[in-house]
Amino acid sequence: MADVIMDVRNLKKNFGPNQILKGINFKAYRGEVVCIIGASGSGKSTLLRCMNLLEIPTSGEIYFEGVNILDRSVDPMRLTTKMGMVFQQFNLFNNLTVLQNCVLGQTVVLKRPRNEARRTAMEYLEKVGMAQFINARPHQLSGGQKQRVAIARALSMEPDTLLFDEPTSALDPEMVGEVLKVIVSLAKTGLTMLVVTHEMDFAREVASRVVFMDGGVIAEENTPDVIFNNPKNDRTRAFLTRVLRKN
Amino acid sequence: MGYFIVNKYPEFLRGAGVTLLISITGTVVGFLIGLLIGVVRTIPMRTTDSKIKTAFLRVVKFILQAYIEIFRGTPMMVQAMVIYYGIASLFHVSMNQLFAGFFIVSVNTGAYMAEIVRGGIESVDRGQFEAAHTMGIRHGQTMRHIILPQAIRNILPAIGNEFVINIKDTSVLSVISVTELFFASNSIAGTYMAYFQTMIITCAVYFVLTFTVTRILRMVERKLDGPSNYAILNDSAISENAMEEGGV
Ligand SMILES: Nc1ncnc2c1ncn2[C@@H]1O[C@H](COP(=O)(O)OP(=O)(O)OP(=O)(O)O)[C@@H](O)[C@H]1O
Ligand SMILES: [Mg+2]
């Protein structure tokens, strides 16, 4: 656990006049599963998007595997390859089949030979239970199936870290389970995962650490046991009471 | 009218041939210009990029924007005159009329296509760009493999529209004596003083051209949409299929 894979220091992000992230300090260790929870608008997505440079932070530093990814001399595309992302809206490539979705990045970015890329893709498609659907196109799949393909696509790049931004929020309730099951199975493989989620049971079950965000700062972070059973911060307590009552 | 059809059809056909040739070339070249500009104009400018790259991109984008505005904002007939006579008086060479025709229609169409392509690119949801970015796929590759195939499919009707407009609008090239359909008809009409009959025939020929082109494009669209079903594979088919079909 001593191996720091992600180190975010005093990260700030403004959108116009609004400061959305107000100085985030955050470390993730190799093999950890960190669940990020918090109210809507607290900046969870923005934090994740800064980590893989979908948003350029206003100030601060982000070290990923020891390299400051905001350094101008660092090629950002190189780094994001080691960091996969799974989106709430799946974002599959709509013109490609399921298999092609999982092959493209490998051949174009990692320069893997086609056959090897297909084998790797099949391996992960099987893992998420989508091997039967390799010739389907995204619009022919259900939400849960799309999200499982999206996970296989990210895994096919064999990243060290996988970021999930509310991977089940756009799904019908009966499909949430199939996707969470896949993510739980990944948690055991040693992959570092940062998961923004509203699924508190999931966080309680798989997280090695839970981060509670509130108004652009990390208000509290601790083991799931402490966060859910004995939170130190009043705002954490208020938030949990609110969301747990809803369920 | 029968007299003209029977005796003058080679002139009409030759004119129609020139019209079709110029409008096809113009549409294809214009489309390629539009694609290139569309891709360049959507290159993201990041604050982490070097100053030189950012400045260079700014200048290029400005020039492209100026090109689009100027060619969309002035009539093609006037552009034809300015380019054709302008080059003649500046360099004391007279351009081959047919070449001038290709050039003017292409450059003019390019300006429209650039906007059409940009619209097509923007019609593909941002999420797919973002997914490509997180996989480390660069702008050019993202465009080539993911965005443009979808964008082009979406703008096919608009491209067809440009083609049809070009078939009709090449008639303005008669001002620089390109022997396209309208120029040919006009000379026949003038010689025989039979404007009504000749122009009716000309109308019919234009209509046949545009109608045929429209049908062909519709067919291409349907072809591009691909099959609407997929087969769910059983275990033995999975491994074979993965190695043979559906490659990128
Ligand atoms: N591109 C943008 N421009 C301006 N404001 C933005 C932009 N993206 C996000 N915001 C604002 O930043 C704030 C935080 O957004 P963010 O998406 O990070 O919240 P979140 O914690 O992920 O919320 P949710 O749980 O609803 O997904 C919001 O108030 C949002 O309106
Ligand atoms: Mg969010």
Indicate yes or no: CB of B127 within 8 angstroms of CB of A89: yes
Interval between CA B119 and ligand 2 midpoint (Å): 27
Count CB atoms within 10 A of the CB of residue B43: 15
pLDDT at B48: 63
**Lowest mean pLDDT: which of B25-39, B120-134, B213-227?**
B213-227
ipTM field: 0.92
Residue B246's pLDDT band (boundaries 50, 70, 90)? Answer: very low
The DSSP output letter for B124 is: S
For residue A154, give the 3-state DSSP assignment: helix
Give Cα separations from A194 to A33, B17, B53 (angstroms). 6, 63, 33
Closest CA in chain B for residue A54: B130
- In chain A, residues with a C-beta closer than 8 Å to the C-beta of B247 are 100, 103, 114, 118
| pLDDT for position B247 | 43
Pairing of strands A217-222, A59-64: unpaired
**How many other C-beta atoms lie within 10 A of the C-beta of residue A147?**
30
Q: Which residues pair with A193 in a beta bridge?
A: A33, A162
Q: Full-prediction pTM beyond 0.80?
A: yes
Q: Find, among B44, B168, B237, B128, the residue nearest to A133 by Cα.
A: B237
pLDDT tens for each residue of A81-100: 889 999 999 999 999 999 99
Out of B49, B230, B242, the one facing A118 most closely (by C-beta) is: B242
Residues from chain A that touch B141, judged by Cβ atoms under 8 A, are 108-109
Residue type at B88? A
pLDDT of residue A1: 46
Whole-number Cα distances in Å, A98 to A113, A134, A143, B57, B233: 18, 5, 13, 35, 13
Q: Average pLDDT of A200-214?
A: 94
pLDDT for B8 equals: 78
CB A179 within 8 A of CB A171: yes
Q: How long, in residues, is chain A?
A: 247
Residues A152-161, mean pLDDT to the nearest whole number = 95
Strand partners, A26: A8
